[in-house]
Amino acid sequence: MIEETVSVIGEHGERITIAAGRKSACGGCSQKEGCGVFAISGLFSGPSIELELDNALGARVGDTVVVGVEDAAFLRMAVRAYLLPLLALIGSAIVFSRLFASEWLVVLLSVAAMLGSFYFNRARAGKTADLHLLRIVPTSNI
């Protein structure tokens, strides 16, 4: 299970809203000053992500909680985020190249298919069924 410590920022009856910060894999690399990937990741870093999930433990606003996701669910999310857009791009390029003679039209439609997969992923991202509230972190441990 993959776990992350987050803050509770809202309560809505039996559900809570948590704020999870966005992280880059580049944080621990000593070469980040000269790395183009690090520079580009800075362009896309944004505010924290807010998610709503069931409050089985009675957490309150201001509490720090540990949330977790099963390894299999995490793998499914990674496949949707990385493999699906790639397959949409390549698959649609193959199909559209057989249907249309214009390379520009094939490129345009293939990129549109890839962007559609990003939109699909974004719509699915709001679903938190795989995310579980594990425990409330005691304030003395913060």
Query: Which residue has better confidence, 43 or 22?
Result: 22
Domain count, the chain: 1
Residue 39 pLDDT: 54
Residue 58 pLDDT: 87
Query: Which of these ranges, 13-27, 39-53, 86-100, 111-125, has the smallest mean pLDDT?
Result: 39-53
Residue 95 pLDDT: 96
Domain that holds residue 56: 2-141
Q: Model pTM greater than 0.85?
A: no
Asked if 109 and 65 count as a contact pair (C-beta separation under 8 A), the reply is no
Q: Is the pLDDT of residue 111 over 90?
A: yes
Asked if 73 and 3 count as a contact pair (C-beta separation under 8 A), the reply is no
62: left (phi over 0), alpha (psi -120 to 50) or beta: left
Burial of 75 (0-12, 13-18, 19+ CB in 10 A): exposed
Query: Which residue has better confidence, 99 or 130?
Result: 99
Half-sphere exposure of 130 (CA within 13 A, CB side): 17
Asked if 89 and 37 count as a contact pair (C-beta separation under 8 A), the reply is no
| pLDDT band per the 50, 70, 90 thresholds, residue 37 | low
Residue 90 pLDDT: 96
Residue 26 pLDDT: 58
